[in-house]
Structure 1
């Protein structure tokens, strides 16, 4: 017989059936409410985010964003550099840069400074800034390592800006003992050609580098060197120099007076620049001296040689021995290409057998200005300069007449204290260096 079970106890057949349905619904509602409350409670990250918001930021609908803002990306247009090659023209360079003839025309006609582009040389550089659509936006022309011109396209065309780098100036001291020539000794000491020529120019009024230079002479020179970003660009000015010759010491100091004029003076304030150079060209040898009874090399007869012949390679520069005016310049069968210079009323110098002339009749010339180049025109057996010196129309020996010429100018008496103060540092450097090299036993010249 089947057991009888009352209906009110039928739900006990399963664990879930232990509670009435209304109790289960109440429990489910409580659990859902508790879960929502936990989700809405702020955690550590939420607190960090809240404190990161600026206090003065108003959270209005227009300021609220669901995604972070991304800044626009700006790309800098690259410069395209093109070096100038042998035989290059501006049109060829613009073509290599994929620019049109119109771009070239607009740029070169933009300003007077653009005319510098007509003198481009191999080794210089042009840099182009070109837009994505192929338009020229800017161009930079490097004249040399210190100077450049920048052209930038504006609303009305190209604007031009001159850019100049400022080099670092360093002092250098060099010295050498003469074994064969000043030029060779200075080269061996690492002195640039420009400084060598300037050294000869400074002492050219007191020393004849053909007659006077002897083996075992020596010199000290203090000069500037120009550097840019650690790279040597060039030599600058000679600041002081000392030359030891035949037991005498000759010193020269660069001095700038109150008027801004620059010259070189001895320690006593006497200008190193004399009225006439001792020789009108550099680093040569005498092939024939002043001789009233010389045997002429072409005609083989005794004829007066009223000047000095300087043997030198063809093309060697010939300088004006002093300030003056060109009295005559031309060509004759005997003299070849010649130049005559009048120096005031009393003096005249003559230069014969030139390869080419650099001046014309009536030109004003300055001492050591190039007036021509050594050649062998006219009655000449080989390249040389025939140089004559006339005083009141009478030929004089160029090698000795300079000792009889007027004294050079001096620093004004009132400026001597300033002069002494300006050269004091250079004097100390020269003497310290000479002592270190044991350059002693000479008398001041």
Structure 2
């Protein structure tokens, strides 16, 4: 080997400079970006550098396996990191869900909205018979549902009505179902109304429920015939109990005190419960509102025929005495016993059809004819209380339409039930009088105050 050949470099100087620059750049990159992608570049760059010199590098095909392996590393590592990050960011299952029932919803669709499996509803209904009450869902009803870590039903509760809720809890044996009855609070309220068409319309306008309209008619039914005596301009006022849940009125209770002005005459009544728990209405002075007989045995019916000694019979077409009063009413309208007594007859009686006859003590007897059917328990010899339902209006016997034929007898003589002076019930007992006044006077005073405030407000 000559000296010339010993001093001559193996590679051109330009190649060596380029390689030195690339190496320096690679070192800087590794220091700044020590990532998995950089690791891949560490493998690739030397191969690319070496491929620039055909004297040293092998064939391109020999380098392919290293290139493929490096690219796979560069792709797989970021995907694995991305998958781990996605799992970490995925939210945990929501444990509590509140579902409001919409129109057309069923219990099945409610469970679906809550994300519960289809078999959950089947398991619930199969494991506890009481769970079937949940199937009667109503629009606006809210289901509060809690799921366990596996997404199954852990517990459920819902308000079925204003007075009832249900609680479902998962147990080792399946599901337990518990009903909770909500006891409403009771408060006093005042209402006033004026009759311009009917008692029902006036009470509804005053905010009283139907049950209290019926109670009002029952309280004053001894003095006022609500089928005959009402006039436009008659007025009433009441202090009554109402039931509330969460501050919301859900129903009415008993009337505590009331006034009714009929044809210019005012009647007052106060409810009193004695020490034995018996409740009765008395006048302000303690005399009984209750008479031995109610004036009419049927509520709000129209008088179709009065008591008379000469009336042409609509079926027989003969003039004969009509010894009672007929009240026209729809079939099925309840008929009440006019007073306490014993049933002498509950069966067929000639042209009267299905008939009940009641004996009241020694002097009085009442008859109720043309019934559709008898009330449960009404039979010969049974005892009945005043106001008890004894049957229902019909058209049995000689009748051209559904109505009640009512007769009243005193010592075996027929009298006009509408004009007969009825005997009074006993007044409040002397031992109870002081206690009665302590309860009644504040109620009557409040009714006066409420009336004055309402009338003053209306004048403004």
Identify the TM-score tier after normalising by the shorter chain. 0.5 to 0.7
Q: When the two structures are superposed, what TM-score results if normalisation uses the length of structure 1?
A: 0.67
Listed as ranges, the gaps of 5+ residues in structure 2 are 1-91
Counterpart of 2:127? 106
Of 279, 285, 292, the match for 1:262? 279
377, 397, 401: which one aligns with 1:382: 401
Corresponding residue of 2:442: 425
Partner of 2:28: none
Correspondence for 1:361: 379
2-side partners of 1:138 and 1:223: how far apart?
Answer: 40
Partner deviation per Cα, 1:110-157 (whole Å, 9 max, x = no partner): xxxx49949979789695857556866556575531123435444566
State the shift of 1:252 in Å: 0.7
Match of 2:61 in 1: none
- Write the distance in 2 (CA, Å) between the matches of 1:324 and 1:222: 32
CA distance in 2, matches of 1:116, 1:329: 42
Residue aligned with 2:308, SS: coil
Which segment is superposed worse, 293-302 or 352-361? 352-361
How far apart are residue 421 of structure 1 and its match?
A: 0.9
For the pair shown, the structure with the greater C-alpha radius of gyration is 2
Give the structure with the higher percent helix: 2
Residues 93, 151 of structure 2: 8 Å contact kept: no
Deviation at 1:259, TM superposition (A): 2.5
Q: In 2 relative to 1, CA 136–306 (structure 1 residues): closer, same or farther, beyond 3 Å? A: farther
Distance in 2 (CA, whole Å) between partners of 1:131 and 1:434 is 56
Equivalent residue runs for 1:336-347 within 5 Å: 336-347=353-364
SS in 2 for 1:400: coil
Q: Which residue of 2 aligns with 1:394?
A: 413
Q: How do 1:22-421 residues align onto structure 2 when only pairs under 5 Å count?
A: 76-78=95-97, 98=118, 99=120, 103-108=124-129, 114=130, 117=133, 129=145, 131=147, 137-138=154-155, 140=157, 142=159, 144-155=161-172, 161-331=178-348, 334-359=351-376, 360-362=378-380, 363-401=382-420, 403-405=421-423, 407-421=424-438
Q: CA deviation at 1:298?
A: 1.8
Contact 1:84 / 1:125 at 8 angstroms: preserved in 2?
A: no
In structure 2, do the counterparts of structure 1 residues 314 and 124 end up closer, same or farther at CA, with 3 Å as the change threshold? farther
User: What RMSD, in angstroms, separates the aligned Cα atoms of the two structures?
Assistant: 3.9
Residues 124, 131 of structure 2: 8 Å contact kept: no
Report how many aligned residue pairs link the two structures.
359
The change in CA–CA distance for 1:131 and 1:115 in structure 2 (over 3 A counts) is closer
8 Å CA contact 1:183–1:283 kept in 2: the answer is no
Question: What are the Cα deviations for residues 286-331 of structure 1, in whole angstroms up to 9, with x where unaligned?
Answer: 1111112222122221122111101223333222222334433334
- Range 328-337 or range 234-243, more displaced: 328-337
The answer to whether the Cα contact below 8 Å between 1:310 and 1:384 also exists between their aligned partners in 2 is yes
* Contact 2:100 2:140 (C-alpha < 8 Å) held by counterparts: no
Q: Match of 2:20?
A: none
Inter-CA distance 309–117: structure 2 relative to 1 (3 Å threshold)? same
Which ranges of structure 1 fall in alignment gaps of 5 or more residues? 1-72, 109-113, 440-445
Mapped to 1, the partners of 2:454 and 2:280 lie a distance apart of: 28
Alpha-carbon distance, 1:228 to partner: 2.5
CA distance in 1 between counterparts of 2:416 and 2:203 reads: 30
Contact persistence 1:91–1:104 (CA under 8 A): no
